[in-house]
Amino acid sequence: MGQYRPMFNISLEHTYFSNGRLPGVQLVPTGESARLMANTNMVTRKRDDGITVFFDHEQLDTLRLYAADEDDPLQLNFECEVDSQTFRNYTADAEFSETRTLYFDSANTDPQTIGTKYLHSEEFVSPADLAELFAGSFTLRETHSSVLPFSTNRALLFDAEQTARNPRGKIPLDPADLQQSRNLTRGMLSAAAPASRRPPSLGLISIRVSSEELEQITKGDLNTYNDYHIRFKARETHWKYFILGDANREGVFVKDAKDEIEFDYLGEEEVANGRKAKVFLSRQAIPLRDRAKPKFQLLVPRHNRLKVLVKRLAVASANRINKVKLDDRELFVSEIYVNF
């Protein structure tokens, strides 16, 4: 066994978390990638926010052959899952759906440089990173320009713009060719179990190491490798306070201690058990955080002075988010109940 050196790293970030890292990430190589790793003695070091792949320097000649082979390249594909049940709640909307998945390809980065790279074109993950899942027997539509065989069980469909932006590995499609559609269904997904067609909770990732990149990694020091990142942005919601119980007093209001966020009084609403609650909604959308910092207080006028009823109100949770329509606008709203 030779010297092991890092080939590449994948880290997932999220602004929802105070440390900036997305925890509970599982990167699972496809069956084909797992075999490639076993055949070339690659090893992995898993972390809570990603994975690092190491290569055996004694296998360098074999790796060079793979890297130079266009038909069987040095490429590792991963299905990415995240443990959090509320991941989509606290993540800015990327139009998650059962027919599309996020797809990140290292081909979208600059192959001439080695170092830190983001696997998406915008500052954060966005709908531009979505690809359509090939789900089996159906007629291809005119919008389908190419298909990518990601693994034995998965294939992805791309429109003309996506195909032109990154054609590598994609097979051109002719929607008018019904036989091609049947062949794709039979050849790619006929053996796939229905459960395997479920989109991963986070997405799919392809990392390809070119001959040039492999040589740069080999000739550099142990810190010379591609450090790939995927960065998610936290969802922003309007915070809606329901003031109940003894706190529901005449003149009560919500105030930001830093005077950065303003709240509008929406009147009273009937809640559970027929009780009435005074309702306040933030004018601005506020990013969700695992450890929220805003200091909102509940105040009430008393004897020509302001009395503090609650020094620090509860903050929004990723567990309770609603989509509402207000003044012809659709807003994501975090509901927070104050009862004392």
One pLDDT digit (tens) per residue for the chain, 340 residues: 568 999 999 999 999 999 999 999 999 999 999 999 999 999 999 999 999 999 999 999 999 999 999 888 999 999 999 999 899 999 998 777 778 899 999 998 988 889 999 999 899 999 999 999 886 655 577 888 898 989 988 889 999 999 998 998 898 987 677 676 667 666 655 545 555 567 788 999 999 999 999 999 999 898 999 999 999 999 999 999 999 988 899 999 999 999 999 999 999 999 888 899 999 999 999 999 998 888 999 999 988 899 999 999 999 999 889 888 877 888 899 999 998 7
Q: 338 forms bridges with which residues in the sheet?
A: 243
Beta strands 130-133 and 25-29 are unpaired
Place of tokens 């529901």: 248
Q: What are phi and psi of 83, to 5 degrees?
A: -70, -30
The per-residue pLDDT for 80 is 96
Which residues does 183 contact at the CB level (< 8 Å), separation at least 6? none
Neighbours of 227 (CB within 10 A): 16
Residue 220 is predicted with a pLDDT of: 87
What are the tokens at 93? 């909307």
| Rounded to 5°, angle at Cα 273 from 283 and 247 | 50
Residue 215 has a CB neighbour count (10 Å cut-off) of 13
Name the nearest CA neighbour of 14 among 225, 318, 238.
Answer: 318
Structure tokens at 170: 């994609």
Residue 26 in 3-state DSSP? strand
- Beta carbons within 8 Å of 202's beta carbon, 6+ residues apart: 12, 25, 80, 81, 82, 87, 102
CA–CA distance, 291 with 103 (Å, rounded to integer): 29
Mean pLDDT of the chain: 89
Residue 139 confidence (pLDDT): 58
Beta carbons within 8 Å of 285's beta carbon, 6+ residues apart: 236, 237, 238, 331, 332
**Interatomic CA distance for residues 237 and 286, integer angstroms:** 5
* Helix, strand, coil % in the chain, rounded to nearest 5: 20, 40, 40
Chain segment 157-184, per-residue pLDDT in tens: 999 999 998 998 898 987 677 676 667 6
Among 67, 7, 57, 65, which residue's Cα sits nearest to residue 211?
67
Cα-Cα-Cα-Cα dihedral sign, residues 97, 80, 24, 128: negative
Exposed e or buried b per residue across 76-97, where buried means at least 16 C-beta atoms within 10 angstroms of its C-beta: bbbbbebebeebbbbbbebebe
Closest CA to 309 of 317, 318, 300: 300
Closest by alpha carbon to 265, among 273, 275, 277, 247? 277
Predicted local confidence at residue 35, as pLDDT: 96
